[in-house]
């Protein structure tokens, strides 16, 4: 009992920065998990990646104008993320270029522009923090922002749940019975950008999608039911946060990458042993027939 | 991995665009073109070389030379230089590759040669040397002597000028050293333990009797882990720490988190691994040392 306390509870009981990091990453997991599942089911995983990079120049522009100001960087990030989401869709719809290629183009432009802007004002330390975040140094304002994003995400998903699920399952049917698809799609993109901006502060632009896409991919291997997938994704995110932070505490690994690595390990385990379409499942029945 | 490479490529392109062209004096007075690895060294070289030399720094004001990514423009500048001055002690891990790749024939002078190196307490057990030797005025005198000798070797006709400049500047450094000692002398013994963002002040601490602790080790390269941060906070709680300080090359949020969590006061900003811009806290080496001493004194003596 004492050992369990010492290894699982004490780090959080003794150190405020651990509590803050845990609250921050758990709030992220709550919001980003479900959003990630929808992104994955709609084959928009790459979109999440592109948008997380798009946030960098926006946040950097805010940084350039106002320094390390949460409101300026958040506003910039939201605007830039949303702009790239819409522009990439527009280019794909109105030109010959396929959406994945146009996303790749925008993701490169954003990253280059973002790095340029950050370097104009700051040194390379600032740049490292923009790219990898600072999960061990979350202040009150940042935590409030992340928690607000998570709450808003869950509320909004409850509201637009039906059109979103329908669009994953049968977009043609949705179009024939309702005109909610368009607005729901835009609202959903806004949720993606918001969650990525929240994750940007904790994990940085390069890892922000980690708590969004990895838990979603894990969920895909355990159930076919969308609601259950959301639950699995959220639980995966929460577990990754907890174990990742404890690993960072015990083994001295950098905190943000540790959280994402744990999610990555859970993903690999799911690929191998997942109940739905995991490798072991696919191979096992044949062996049973032979025996 | 490819994303990291993309980032690096972006950095390289960017820096080649923005890097200032090698400073070239149109007046024909300039005899030697010196490239220094970072801003503090460039300031020392400028003080010794005076008008006979043109000096530029690869890593400019407020830049962090621990993790610098050299650019094609840097390579060009080194190829055109007649003398390259580096800190040594493992500070600029990237410089050897850069000099080799540039094809430069310029001699490379290690400014810290002859300084007694301090063992750095690298957070992960390996004891590398602490490169921040310029943080004591006595060591800076060693730097200046090395720079003077190198300039005389490469440009013998300028010997008198270099020797005179160096003598004058060494006298200033002596005065600076005495001034810092006097300024910090009144701080009571039990208040001489402070926290900084990374381990940059070991030499300063040894020379002037202040103990510096930090979450990041001697290089800014390593991301602090939760374990390192927890150790430091435990240590702050157990021992009597007077103040925590921000640094000009370090993200302030981590230090603020430590201050918030332990209730220790933030004493101000210390200038560690780079000069600030012309209008900043410390545009020259002497101003840097003076600023740090003032900041420490103000935070620790009340």
**How high is the pLDDT of residue B124?**
39
**How high is the pLDDT of residue B1?**
47
**How high is the pLDDT of residue B15?**
53
List pLDDT tens digits, range A145-171. Answer: 999 999 999 999 999 998 888 888 777
Q: How confident is the model at residue A207 (pLDDT cuts 50, 70, 90)?
A: confident
**How high is the pLDDT of residue B27?**
43
Please list every residue in chain A whose beta carbon sits closer than 8 Å to the beta carbon of residue B230: 11, 14-15, 17-18, 249
Most confident of A39-48, A116-125, A189-198, B183-192: A189-198
Burial class, A51, CB count within 10 angstroms (exposed 0-12 / middle 13-18 / buried 19+): buried
Distance in angstroms (rounded) separating the CA atoms of residues B223 and B247: 16
Residues in chain B whose beta carbon is closer than 8 A to a beta carbon of chain A?
Answer: 3-4, 6-7, 10-11, 13-15, 18, 62-64, 67-69, 123-124, 220, 222-230, 233-234, 249-254, 256-258, 260-261, 274
**Pairwise CB contact (< 8 Å): B224 & A136:** yes
| Residue of chain A whose Cα is closest to the Cα of B223 | A254
**Pairwise CB contact (< 8 Å): A255 & B124:** no
Is the pLDDT confidence value at A2 over 50?
Answer: yes
Please list every residue in chain A whose beta carbon sits closer than 8 Å to the beta carbon of residue B15: 119
Nearest to B218 by CA among B112, B115, B87, B91: B91
Distance in angstroms (rounded) separating the CA atoms of residues A257 and A261: 6
Please list every residue in chain B whose beta carbon sits closer than 8 Å to the beta carbon of residue A105: none
CA-based nearest distance B267→chain A, Å: 19
Is the pLDDT confidence value at A241 over 50?
Answer: yes
Rg of chain B taking only CA atoms, in angstroms? 20
Range(s) for CATH 3.40.50.1980 in chain B? 3-177, 181-300
- Where does residue B255 fall: left (phi above 0), alpha (psi -120 to 50 degrees), or beta otherwise? alpha
Phi, psi of A62 (to 5 degrees): -60, -40
Nearest to B53 by CA among B35, B73, B76, B80: B35
pTM over 0.90: no
**How high is the pLDDT of residue A90?**
80
Of A108, A119, A252, nearest to B225 by CB-CB distance is: A252
Mutual orientation of helices B226-238 and B252-262 as an angle, nearest 10°? 40
CB contact at 8 A, B38 and B59: yes
Distance in angstroms (rounded) separating the CA atoms of residues B286 and B137: 9
User: To 10 degrees, the CA torsion angle through B189, B194, B199, B205?
Assistant: -20
Q: Domain B181-300 carries which CATH code?
A: 3.40.50.1980
**Pairwise CB contact (< 8 Å): A139 & B249:** no
Please list every residue in chain B whose beta carbon sits closer than 8 Å to the beta carbon of residue A252: 123-124, 225-228
Is the pLDDT confidence value at A224 over 60?
Answer: yes
Helical segments of chain A, H only:
2-4, 10-14, 16-41, 45-66, 70-94, 99-121, 124-132, 140-159, 161-169, 171-177, 181-207, 210-220, 226-251, 255-273, 279-290
Checking B284-288 for CB contacts under 8 A at 24+ apart, the result is B284/B43, B285/B40, B285/B43, B285/B44, B285/B47, B285/B134, B285/B140, B286/B172, B286/B173, B286/B176, B288/B40
Token pair of B282, please?
């410390």
**Pairwise CB contact (< 8 Å): A252 & B63:** no
Of A18, A115, A250, nearest to B14 by CB-CB distance is: A115
Q: How confident is the model at residue A216 (pLDDT cuts 50, 70, 90)?
A: very high
Q: How far is CA A45 from the centre of its chain?
A: 10
Q: Domain B3-177 carries which CATH code?
A: 3.40.50.1980
Full 3-state SS string of chain B: CHHHHHHHHHHHHHHHHHCCCCCCCCCCCCCEEEEEEEHHHHHHHHHHHHHHEEEEEEECCCCCHHHCCCCHHHHHHHHHCCEEEECCCCCCCCHHHHHHHHCCCCCEEECCCCCCCEECCCCCCCCCEECCHHHCHHHHHHHHHHHHHHHHHHCHHHHHHHHHHHHHHHHHHHHHHHHHHHHHHCCCHHHCEEECCCCCCHHHHHHHCCEEECCCCCCCCCCCEHHHHHHHHHHHHHCCCCEEEEECCCCHHHHHHHHHHHCCEEEEEECCCCCCCCCCCCCCHHHHHHHHHHHHHHHHHC
Residues in chain A whose beta carbon is closer than 8 A to a beta carbon of chain B?
Answer: 11, 14-18, 20-21, 68, 108, 111-112, 115-116, 119-120, 122-129, 131-132, 134, 136-139, 206, 245, 248-258
**Pairwise CB contact (< 8 Å): B233 & A139:** no
List pLDDT tens digits, range A64-84. Answer: 888 778 888 899 999 998 888
Distance in angstroms (rounded) separating the CA atoms of residues A257 and B210: 35
Please list every residue in chain B whose beta carbon sits closer than 8 Å to the beta carbon of residue A116: 10, 14
More confident position, B12 or A97 = A97
Q: Which residues pair with B269 in a beta bridge?
A: B246
Distance in angstroms (rounded) separating the CA atoms of residues A144 and A86: 28
**Pairwise CB contact (< 8 Å): A17 & B252:** no
**Residue of B223, B260, B273 to mutate for A, most A C-beta atoms under 10 A:** B223
**How high is the pLDDT of residue B3?**
62
Tens digit of each residue's pLDDT, chain B (302 residues): 456 666 666 555 555 554 444 344 444 467 889 999 989 999 999 999 998 999 999 888 877 777 677 777 888 888 889 999 999 888 888 888 888 888 888 899 999 988 888 876 544 334 478 888 999 999 999 999 999 999 999 999 999 999 999 999 999 999 999 999 998 888 888 888 888 877 788 899 899 888 888 766 555 555 678 888 888 888 888 877 888 887 765 667 777 888 888 888 888 888 888 888 887 888 999 999 999 999 989 888 76
| Residue of chain B whose Cα is closest to the Cα of A49 | B3
Of A119, A126, A255, nearest to B251 by CB-CB distance is: A126
**How high is the pLDDT of residue B41?**
92
């Amino acid at each position: 009992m004492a050992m369990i306390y010492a290894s699982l509870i004490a780090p959080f009981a003794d150190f405020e920065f651990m509590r803050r990091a845990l609250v921050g990453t758990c709030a992220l997991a709550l919001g980003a998990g479900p959003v990630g599942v929808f992104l994955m089911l709609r084959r928009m995983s790459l979109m999440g990646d592109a948008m997380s990079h798009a946030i960098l120049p926006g946040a950097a522009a805010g940084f350039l104008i106002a320094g390390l100001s949460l409101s300026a960087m958040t506003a910039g990030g939201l605007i830039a993320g949303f702009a790239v989401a819409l522009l990439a869709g527009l280019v794909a719809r109105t030109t010959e270029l396929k959406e994945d290629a146009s996303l790749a183009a925008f993701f490169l432009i954003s990253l280059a522009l973002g790095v340029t802007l950050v370097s104009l004002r700051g040194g390379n330390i600032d740049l490292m923090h923009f790219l990898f975040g600072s999960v061990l140094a979350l202040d009150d304002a940042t935590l409030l922002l992340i928690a607000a994003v998570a709450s808003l995400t869950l509320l909004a998903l409850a509201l637009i749940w039906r059109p979103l699920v329908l669009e994953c399952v049968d977009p043609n049917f949705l179009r024939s019975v309702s005109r909610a698809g368009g607005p729901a799609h835009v609202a959903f993109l806004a949720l993606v950008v918001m969650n990525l901006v929240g994750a940007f502060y904790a994990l940085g632009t390069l890892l922000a999608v980690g708590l969004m896409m990895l838990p979603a991919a894990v969920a895909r291997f355990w159930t076919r039911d969308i609601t259950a997938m959301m639950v699995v994704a959220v639980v995966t995110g929460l577990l990754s946060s907890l174990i990742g932070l404890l690993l960072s505490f015990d083994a001295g690994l950098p905190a943000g990458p540790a959280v994402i690595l744990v999610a990555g390990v859970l993903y690999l385990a799911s690929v191998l042993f997942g109940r739905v379409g995991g490798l072991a499942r696919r191979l096992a029945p044949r062996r049973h027939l032979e025996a | 991995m490819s994303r990291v490479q993309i980032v690096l490529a972006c950095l390289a392109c960017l820096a080649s665009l923005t890097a200032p062209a090698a400073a070239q004096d149109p007046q024909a007075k300039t005899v030697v073109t010196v490239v220094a690895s970072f801003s503090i060294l460039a300031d020392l070289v400028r003080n010794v070389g005076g008008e006979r030399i043109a000096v530029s720094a690869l890593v400019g004001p407020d830049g962090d030379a621990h993790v610098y990514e050299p650019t094609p423009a840097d390579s060009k500048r080194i190829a055109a230089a007649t003398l390259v001055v580096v800190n040594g002690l493992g500070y600029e891990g990237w410089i050897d590759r850069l000099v080799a790749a540039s094809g430069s024939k310029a001699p490379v002078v290690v400014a810290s040669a002859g300084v007694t190196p301090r063992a750095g307490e690298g957070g992960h057990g390996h004891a590398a040397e602490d490169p921040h030797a310029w943080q004591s005025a006595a060591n800076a005198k060693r730097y200046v002597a090395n720079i003077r000798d190198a300039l005389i070797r490469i440009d013998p006709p300028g010997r008198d000028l270099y020797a005179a400049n160096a003598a004058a500047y060494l006298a200033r450094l002596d005065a600076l050293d005495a001034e810092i000692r006097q300024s910090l002398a009144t701080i009571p013994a039990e208040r001489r333990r402070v926290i900084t963002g990374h381990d940059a002040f070991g030499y300063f601490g040894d020379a002037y009797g202040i103990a510096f602790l930090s979450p990041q080790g001697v290089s800014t390269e390593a991301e602090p882990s939760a374990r390192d941060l927890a150790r430091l906070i435990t240590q702050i709680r157990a021992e009597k720490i007077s103040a925590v300080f921000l640094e000009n090359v370090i993200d302030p949020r981590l230090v603020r988190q430590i201050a918030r969590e332990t209730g220790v006061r933030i004493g101000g900003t210390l200038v560690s691994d780079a000069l600030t811009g012309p209008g900043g806290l410390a545009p020259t080496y002497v101003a840097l040392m003076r600023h740090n001493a003032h900041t420490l004194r103000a935070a620790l003596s009340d």
